[in-house]
């Protein structure tokens, strides 16, 4: 049987609730009956569908009890507001484990991958806890805290935002000992009257929750570095920097991609860490992972992880699905390489991914399938059209575009580079499928909301069919 996470008495004390039914012991916390495990506390949150409607299903699947605001089937802790109760449960989990070194990761680009790379290092160092998936909002952060076992030694939390004043309450829940802002870019700018400057100020809110003497890890190459640094210093944080500059605590000297872009090969990072030379291999192939690895090293150091464990973690951390994961798609007469970047996209990550593709050696063509980058505001068409320049610099052979915003890029491309255009990703997918040939490298990238994953899935299905045929 799994270790007890919460007793009903502890839940009552934390949430200021009352017991209905018999006392119980929970071994986990869940908000979704699709993934609930036997022994979980089911949290009946409101939303598009009221969680109370799913209580019977949760209990049938073995839930130990329910956190609810109205009478339900089975044992429950009754509260006035379920979300506020979840927040209190998260705070109680934090307070009952004062030994935990906690980290926080906001940023316009790469926060999920950087968070998971940090997790890999924390796990090598001891008992670790972290966000799952991209649980980084007003529900995901308290849920992640509430799931934290009391014997945890280190934890890291991804913190996201779409608007100002969203990060501040989340970082005050986490109270991190170290926080890294991966980078600031034109993401969610449609929600900020002052554009990217507003995004920078919103990211800097993470320092409001830093524990006394906490560490702020900042990208010295970022144009908003001074804004972030000033906010970090206001709360008395110790600032640690990463970038290309000589004064950086973690200085990137060079990033050498995997030999010939081979699948499964190691890239090599050449760096100086606190002034000492440091060369190490990583499984990531994207150029942006040079700086990402510097951020990871500084965060792991701040969370008291040995450098050897940090390097070992980076050396074995594989690209996440939809965030640079690669696979060979087998065809009857050979295979092509699929680079799946379909989970998210913005101008910064697009440019980095295109540059990485340009540096690869391949026996075939370099092909990209791109869908709309979302939440870019009035400047969105210009951001899309501007991708024509990095695509030309990378000598990409064919560009496929889907969506009304990507039409701006399509119009800016020379005819020789145009692969195909469609209004939706679903309509674009068969065009890309028909084009891919053995030896090609095909990269799929776009915002999750513009369904780039449909193109990646169609290409992946080619491999499944060829396997069945064989």
| Span 61-83, pLDDT tens digits | 999 999 999 999 899 999 999 99
| Percent of the chain's residues with pLDDT above 70 | 93
Q: Check residue 85 and give its pLDDT.
A: 98
pLDDT band at 408; cut points 50, 70, 90: very high
Report the pLDDT value the prediction gives residue 187, as an integer from 0 to 100. Answer: 58
Say yes or no to pLDDT of 462 above 60: yes
Task: Kindly report which listed range (42-51, 129-138, 172-181, 277-286) carries the lowest average pLDDT score.
Answer: 129-138
- Residue 464 is predicted with a pLDDT of 55
What's the confidence (pLDDT) of residue 267?
A: 86
- Asked if the 325-469 domain carries CATH number 3.30.420.40, the reply is no
What pLDDT shows up at residue 135?
81
Distance separating the N- and C-terminal Cα atoms of the chain? 44
Section 391-401 average pLDDT: 96
pLDDT higher than 70, residue 227: yes
Average pLDDT over residues 15-29: 97
Residue with more model confidence, 352 or 413: 413
pLDDT in tens, 283-294: 887 788 899 999
Half-sphere exposure of 153 (CA within 13 A, CB side): 13
Which CATH code for domain 6-82? 3.40.1390.10
In this prediction, residues 252-267 reach a mean pLDDT of 68
Q: If you count DSSP H runs as helices and E runs as strands, how many of each does the chain have, helices first?
A: 16, 22
Q: Each residue of 207-222: pLDDT tens digit? A: 999 999 999 999 999 9
Per-residue pLDDT, 109:
65
Query: What value, to the nearest 5°, has the Cα angle with vertex 38 and ends 32 and 41?
Result: 55
| Gap between the Cα atoms of 244 and 252, Å rounded | 5
Confidence of residue 56 (pLDDT cuts 50, 70, 90): very high
Instruction: Please determine, for residue 163, whether its predicted confidence score (pLDDT) is greater than 70.
Output: yes
Query: How distant is the alpha carbon of residue 427 from its chain centre?
Result: 28
- Identify any residues that bridge with 243 across adjacent strands, giving them in sequence order: 251
What residue ranges do the domains of the chain occupy? 6-82, 97-316, 325-469
Write the CB contacts of 217 (distance below 8 Å, at least 6 apart in sequence). Answer: 178, 179, 180, 181, 240, 241, 242, 295, 298, 299, 302
| 303-345 confidence digits (pLDDT tens) | 999 999 999 999 988 877 767 788 889 988 889 999 998 877 8
Percentage, residues of the chain above pLDDT 90: 72
State residue 293's pLDDT score.
95
Say whether pLDDT at 8 is over 70. Answer: yes
The rounded mean pLDDT for the chain is 90
Q: What is the CATH number of domain 97-316?
A: 3.40.1190.10
* Three-class secondary structure of residue 314 per DSSP: helix
Q: Is the predicted pLDDT of residue 263 greater than 50, yes or no?
A: no
For the chain, state the CA radius of gyration: 23
pLDDT at 470: 37
Nearest to 382 by CA among 410, 419, 408: 408
Average pLDDT in the 259-265 region?
A: 48
| d(C-alpha 350, C-alpha 343), whole Å | 12
pLDDT of residue 468: 45
Quick one: three-class SS letters along 55-121? HHHHHHCCCCEEEECCCCCCCEEECCCHHHHHHHHHHHHHHCCCCCEEEEECCCCCHHHHHHHHHHH
Q: What pLDDT score was predicted for residue 202? A: 87
pTM: 0.77
Q: At what angle do helices 307-316 and 289-302 cross, to 10 degrees?
A: 140
- pLDDT on residue 142: 97
């Amino acid at each position: 049987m799994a270790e007890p996470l919460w007793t009903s008495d502890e839940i009552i004390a934390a949430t200021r609730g009352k017991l209905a039914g018999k006392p119980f012991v929970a071994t986990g916390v869940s908000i979704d009956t699709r993934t609930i495990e036997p022994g979980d506390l089911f949290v009946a949150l409101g939303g598009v569908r009221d969680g109370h409607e799913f209580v019977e299903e949760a209990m049938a699947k073995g839930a130990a009890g329910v956190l609810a605001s109205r009478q339900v089937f089975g044992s429950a802790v009754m509260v006035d507001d379920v979300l506020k109760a979840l927040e209190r449960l998260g705070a109680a989990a934090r307070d009952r484990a004062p030994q935990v070194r906690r980290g926080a990761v906001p940023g316009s680009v790469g926060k999920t991958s950087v968070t998971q790379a940090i997790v890999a290092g924390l796990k090598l160092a001891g008992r670790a806890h972290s966000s799952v998936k991209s649980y980084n909002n007003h529900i995901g952060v308290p849920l992640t805290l509430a799931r934290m076992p009391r014997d945890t030694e280190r934890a890291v939390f991804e913190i996201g935002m779409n608007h100002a004043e969203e990060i501040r309450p989340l970082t005050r829940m986490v109270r991190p000992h170290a926080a890294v802002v991966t980078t600031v870019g034109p993401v969610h700018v449609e929600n900020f009257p002052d554009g990217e400057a507003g995004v920078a100020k919103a990211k800097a809110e993470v320092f409001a929750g830093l524990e006394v003497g906490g560490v702020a890890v900042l990208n010295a190459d970022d144009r908003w570095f001074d804004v972030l640094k000033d906010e970090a210093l206001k709360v008395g944080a110790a600032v640690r920097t990463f970038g290309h500059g000589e004064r950086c605590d973690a200085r990137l000297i060079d990033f050498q991609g995997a030999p010939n872009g081979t699948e499964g090969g190691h890239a090599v990072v050449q760096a100086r860490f606190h002034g000492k030379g440091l060369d190490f291999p990583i499984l990531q192939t994207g150029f942006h992972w040079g700086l990402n690895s510097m951020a990871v090293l500084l965060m792991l150091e701040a969370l008291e992880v040995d450098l050897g464990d940090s390097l070992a973690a980076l050396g074995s951390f594989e690209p996440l699905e939809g965030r640079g994961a690669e696979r060979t798609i087998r065809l009857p007469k050979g295979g092509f390489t699929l680079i799946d970047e379909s989970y998210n996209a913005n101008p910064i990550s697009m440019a980095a991914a295109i540059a990485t593709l340009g540096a690869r050696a391949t026996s075939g063509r370099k092909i990209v399938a791109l869908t709309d980058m979302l939440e870019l505001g009035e400047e969105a068409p210009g951001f899309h059209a501007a991708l024509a320049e990095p695509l030309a610099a990378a000598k990409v052979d064919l560009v496929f575009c889907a969506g009304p915003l990507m039409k701006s890029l399509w119009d800016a491309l020379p005819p020789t580079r145009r692969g195909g255009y469609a209004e939706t990703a679903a309509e674009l997918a068969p065009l890309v499928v028909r084009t891919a040939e053995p030896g090609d490298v095909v990269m799929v990238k776009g915002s999750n909301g513009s369904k780039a994953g449909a193109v990646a899935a169609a290409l992946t299905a080619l491999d499944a069919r060829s396997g069945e045929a064989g």
